[in-house]
Amino acid sequence: MDELLEAALLPSWASSGYRARRAMWGFEPPAPLCAGSIALVTGASRGIGEAAARLIAAPGVRVFVVGRDRAALSAAATELARSSGAQVHALGADLGSLESVRALASAVRASTGRLDLLVHCAGAMHQTRALSPDGIERTVAEHVVGPHCLTRELEPLLAPRSSVVFVCSAGMYSEALDVDRLQIDVEPFRPARAYARAKRAQAVLGAQWDLRLAARGARAYVMHPGWVDSRALREGLPRFAALMSPLLRSPLEGADTIAWLASTRPPGPFGLYLDRQPRRLHRLVHTKVEPGEEQRLWDWCERVVRPRPVEVVA
Ligand SMILES: NC(=O)c1ccc[n+]([C@@H]2O[C@H](COP(=O)([O-])OP(=O)(O)OC[C@H]3O[C@@H](n4cnc5c(N)ncnc54)[C@H](OP(=O)(O)O)[C@@H]3O)[C@@H](O)[C@H]2O)c1
């Protein structure tokens, strides 16, 4: 039944998929983090990130919530603290700016020496091509380079048995990883294509982080939330969102697997999780990764996040 749903796509990624699997497998609500745990969730002022923060928060848990709009973030943080009893810290940052990401990481390091969960959820689909302050196409800057930089900066804080969760998208199934074409600088810019390429790169990066974090007993997971009723979907794909409106998942349905991954830390092979199951990474032959391309992505990310040497003017 699960495989039939997944093969048919629409009923799987819509709310019906989540509800069918919950009924079939008897999903209990995901357990919040244990008291004493410390988590950071980007994109937590609304939508899937806010729902994920709600699911993991509980008395005795500390949660850093991150977004750009400080008023919205502060309101979400206040509500989260009130409803969950968790200790909540709101930290404004733009994941599309390396300077902002580094400032965020240093604020976190000043406040805690340990992190049990890092959720990369911030993001959007942009309608036009623009560059980040660091000169990177902004979809790639926000979904790939910013999360890489933040994970790198916070890596020393990641405790054994900690998890990093990348909130990816089924959109990635349509595109291959090609580091040279990631930023769509030659061909015409199409929002869905730029988003799909960035999300494919995010999934590959997640797999690389999973290998690297094994040495410290930590794991990285990549999941996709299905089609969720959110501002990002309504603004990114307005016609699709209007058409699909009655079928979309709620943010809590989309966030369920994030919280479940955080509380259960499933062992086993890397995959793109949906509804608590690892799914295949490819659906189309042309998206299979060329040998060496994963390493090229890692090397490129490393190069762009490396602080530039300061120019000394005599
Ligand atoms: N909705 C879907 O169907 C769907 C499907 C697959 C994947 N996703 C992914 O799920 C994640 C969350 O999206 P959502 O649907 O929940 O959208 P949403 O409701 O619009 O939430 C996006 C969140 O990310 C924050 N954000 C956006 N850009 C940011 C930046 N540059 N720096 C810091 N924070 C930023 C937003 O706050 P500020 O605007 O204040 O910064 C907000 O908190 C995204 O990565 C998206 O790609 C969504």
Distance CA 86, CA 80 (A): 7
What pLDDT is stored for residue 90 in this prediction? Answer: 98
Q: Who contacts 28 (Cβ-Cβ below 8 Å, separation ≥6)?
A: none
Query: Which residue has the least CA distance to atom 8 on ligand 1?
Result: 169
Alpha helices, DSSP H only, in the chain? 2-7, 10-13, 15-25, 47-56, 70-84, 98-111, 138-140, 146-154, 191-213, 231-236, 238-244, 251-264, 293-305
Q: Who contacts 89 (Cβ-Cβ below 8 Å, separation ≥6)?
A: 62, 63, 64, 65, 77, 111
Residue 314 is assigned to a structural domain of this protein: no
Instruction: Per-residue pLDDT tens, the chain, 314 aa: give them.
Output: 888 888 888 899 999 999 999 999 999 999 999 999 999 999 999 999 999 999 999 999 999 999 999 999 999 999 999 999 999 999 999 999 999 999 999 999 999 999 999 999 999 999 999 999 999 999 999 999 999 999 999 999 999 999 999 999 999 999 999 999 999 888 899 999 999 999 999 999 999 999 999 999 999 999 999 999 999 999 999 999 999 999 999 999 999 999 999 999 999 888 899 999 999 999 999 999 888 999 999 999 999 999 776 667 76
Residue 223 near residue 274 (C-beta atoms within 8 A): yes
A 10 A CB-CB count for 110 gives 8
Q: Which domain holds residue 293?
A: 2-305
Query: Which residue has the least CA distance to atom 44 on ligand 1?
Result: 123
C-alpha distances in Å from residue 194, one per residue of 132, 178, 181, 190, 244: 14, 12, 10, 6, 22
For the Cβ of 69 lying below 6 angstroms from any atom of ligand 1, the answer is yes
Residue 259 is assigned to a structural domain of this protein: yes
Q: Which CATH number belongs to the domain containing residue 277 in this structure? A: 3.40.50.720
Residue 313 is assigned to a structural domain of this protein: no
Residue 52 near residue 86 (C-beta atoms within 8 A): no
Query: Which residue has the least CA distance to atom 35 on ligand 1?
Result: 122
For the Cβ of 47 lying below 6 angstroms from any atom of ligand 1, the answer is yes
Q: What token pair was written down for 38? A: 């410390």
What pLDDT is stored for residue 314 in this prediction? Answer: 65
Phi, psi values for residue 108, rounded to 5°:
-65, -45
Distance CA 141, CA 21 (A): 34
Nearest CA among 265, 255, 256, 179 for reference residue 220:
265
DSSP category for residue 171: G
Query: Which residue has the least CA distance to atom 20 on ligand 1?
Result: 232
Distance CA 145, CA 262 (A): 23
For the Cβ of 118 lying below 6 angstroms from any atom of ligand 1, the answer is no
Residue listed under structure tokens 């830390």: 265
Which atom of ligand 1 sits closest to the CA of residue 168?
A: 7
Nearest CA among 230, 181, 215 for reference residue 201:
181
Tally of structural domains, the chain = 1
Distance 248 CA to ligand 1 centre (A): 16
Residue 311 is assigned to a structural domain of this protein: no
Distance 121 CA to ligand 1 centre (A): 6
Provide the pairing of β-strand 158-167 with 219-223. Answer: parallel
Distance CA 259, CA 58 (A): 12
Residue 122 is assigned to a structural domain of this protein: yes
Residue 263 is assigned to a structural domain of this protein: yes
Distance CA 161, CA 69 (A): 32
Distance 43 CA to ligand 1 centre (A): 5
Which atom of ligand 1 sits closest to the CA of residue 122?
A: 24
Residue 312 is assigned to a structural domain of this protein: no
Nearest CA among 26, 17, 13, 57 for reference residue 39:
57
What pLDDT is stored for residue 311 in this prediction? Answer: 67
Residue 194 is assigned to a structural domain of this protein: yes
Which atom of ligand 1 sits closest to the CA of residue 229?
A: 1
For the Cβ of 231 lying below 6 angstroms from any atom of ligand 1, the answer is yes
Distance 310 CA to ligand 1 centre (A): 33
What pLDDT is stored for residue 229 in this prediction? Answer: 98
Q: Which of 68, 69, 174 to mutate to test the pocket of ligand 1 (most atoms within 8 A of CB)?
A: 68
What is the chain's length?
314
Residue 73 near residue 67 (C-beta atoms within 8 A): yes
